[in-house]
Amino acid sequence: MLSKRIIPCLDVRNKIVTKGVKFQNNVDLGDPIEMAVNYSDGGCDELVFYDITASAERRSIDLEMVEEVARSIHIPFAVGGGISNLTDMYNVLLAGAEKVSVNSLAVHQPDIIAEGAKQFGSQCIVLGMDPVRVSKPECPSGYEITTRGFREFTGMDALDWAKKAQDLGVGEIVVNSVDADGTREGYELDLTGMIADAVQIPVVASGGAGTPQHLADVFEKSHADAAIIASMVHTGEYTVKQIKDDLIQAGIPIRKKW
């Protein structure tokens, strides 16, 4: 049986891992390579790195870091932030990343998904989306897509966008709830479940994890295929193994040996 994946997320700014609440008030946490090796040795199933200032600073992703990660760990990892064209995608994959995550770029140029999928395979292309709860007629699902780290509202409905991205050929979707991000009060279950229910590709829940129970909830109630965690492990409050032990107890399929 396929295991549910647990994916620590490393937000990187100037080669340092950082974490904020709702994309603000970031604090520095440590060296991305060291943290990646620790998480990989500790049993995480995958990792994701976001170069969080690349997009806002309109520069390309830090390829040196991607190469260093690829030399240091031998589990899958995705890289996002600062991808602005097919060449950037190619460079990130060539540097050794398993997947490239697009967010703002895909909103502004949706065809990049189709082009990337055609050239590198759907499995390499991850759509990251940052939906926020709204009450607007143009967003019937109740969630609007934001970009550039919650700085811009797009007027796009989150559910429509997920379906469109699937049709364009994206391999999986990371649903990062802006409202839940960094709160540690649990994933936004309705939002995750709504999107997981509407698409045939894997959905990764993101934003809000604070306890192992939150992961159990999003796997069982929202049918997420994977869950991103950050603060709860970055602060040292939980290890990946502790989370996994709890989920195994709860009867959720989890990779037990590594």
Residues contacting residue 40 through CB under 8 Å, at least 6 positions apart:
47, 73, 74, 75
Residues 203-222 that bind another protein (CB under 8 A): 203
Per CB under 8 A, which of residues 168..197 are in contact with another protein?
171-172, 196-197
- CB closer to another protein out of 93 and 228: 93
Report the alpha-carbon distance of residue 54 to residue 75 in Å, rounded.
Answer: 24
Give the total of residues touching another protein (CB under 8 A): 37
CB 253 within 8 A of CB 206: no
Catalytic residue among 45, 62, 88, 130: 130
**128 Cβ contact list (under 8 Å, min separation 6):** 50, 80, 101, 102, 103, 174, 176
Q: Cβ atoms within 10 A of the Cβ of 206, count?
A: 28
Active site residue 246: no
Given candidates 13, 148, 163, 255, which one binds another protein under the rule CB under 8 A?
A: 255
Which of 16, 37 has the CB closer to another protein? 37
Residues 23, 50, 120, 161: which binds another protein (CB under 8 A)? 120
- Residue 121 has a CB neighbour count (10 Å cut-off) of 12
Q: Is 124 in the site for another protein (CB under 8 A)?
A: yes
Nearest to 130 by CA among 9, 257, 251: 9
Q: Any idea which residue has 């502004």 for tokens?
A: 108
56 scored as a contact of another protein (CB under 8 A): no
Please pick, from the candidates 11, 45, 130, 144, the single residue that binds another protein as defined by CB under 8 A: 45
Q: Provide the annotated active-site residues.
A: 11, 130
The binding site for another protein (CB under 8 A) comprises 1-5, 40, 45, 70-71, 74-76, 93-96, 98, 120-124, 171-172, 196-197, 200-203, 223, 225-226, 255-258
